[in-house]
Amino acid sequence: MTVHTGATATDSPRPTSDTQALYQEGIIAGILAAAAVAVWFLIVDSLAGRPFYTPAVLGTALFGRGAGLEHVTVSLDTVAMFTWVHGLAFAALGGIAARLLAVAERNPGLGFGIVLFFVIFQCGFTTAMAFVAPAVFSVLGWASIFVANLLAAATMVIYFRLRHPNITVRP
């Protein structure tokens, strides 16, 4: 028995190639930003003589509910799981950033508002982390987390700027 709904293959909402390219660009920007953060923390951790310590702490905080962050031992399983989640989160943030960039390209007057939103988001994220996970800040230090956020933002800005050299932000 066959059921005909009257729907055709063209009735289903399929993303256009522009939309696909937009999100692909955002995912790439997000993954590059996540990689910049990972490299930053690898350098910081290696200079302190404990490679992969930061993702181990963050993975323990995320998956182990923050128990015993002061005495974390590096587990490659925890590091890998956290790195995977970190990459996915940044890919999603890159997608959102690409979408906002597309809006700013169509409406240049909104560009400054989007930049302001980003700055407020960064400050809000850091403040929320200080309240939600104060142990992470006490173990890792707020300065290295702040620098990591700046590196991620700079990486995305540089990538999007190279891809969209004519975009302007007007107040």
pLDDT score recorded for residue 121: 80
> Residue 94's pLDDT band (boundaries 50, 70, 90)?
very high
Please tell me the pTM assigned to this model.
Answer: 0.80
DSSP secondary structure string for all residues of 104-116: HHH-GGGHHHHHH
> Residue 159's pLDDT band (boundaries 50, 70, 90)?
very high
Q: How does the average pLDDT of the chain come out, rounded? A: 83
Mean pLDDT of 103-123: 78
Distances (CA, A) of 168 to 69, 101, 108: 44, 10, 7
pLDDT score recorded for residue 81: 95
Model confidence at 168: pLDDT above 80: no
SS (H, E, C) 18-57: HHHHHHHHHHHHHHHHHHHHHHHHHHHHHHCCCCCHHHHH
Residue written as tokens 């289903």?
A: 12
pLDDT score recorded for residue 151: 93
Model confidence at 34: pLDDT above 90: yes
Mean pLDDT of 155-167: 87
Strand ranges, E, within 52-104: none
Distances (CA, A) of 145 to 77, 126, 128: 22, 9, 13
Provide the token pair at 136.
Answer: 């992470």
pLDDT score recorded for residue 92: 93
Mean pLDDT of 24-34: 95
* pLDDT, tens only, 36-84: 999 999 999 999 999 999 999 888 888 876 567 777 888 899 999 999 9
**Looking at 63-72, 81-90, 117-126, 145-154, which range is the least confident one?**
63-72
> Residue 106's pLDDT band (boundaries 50, 70, 90)?
confident
pLDDT score recorded for residue 15: 57
Q: Is 130 exposed, middle or buried (0-12, 13-18, 19+ CB in 10 A)?
A: middle
CA dihedral 15, 21, 23, 26 (to 10 degrees): -170
Q: Is 1 exposed, middle or buried (0-12, 13-18, 19+ CB in 10 A)?
A: exposed
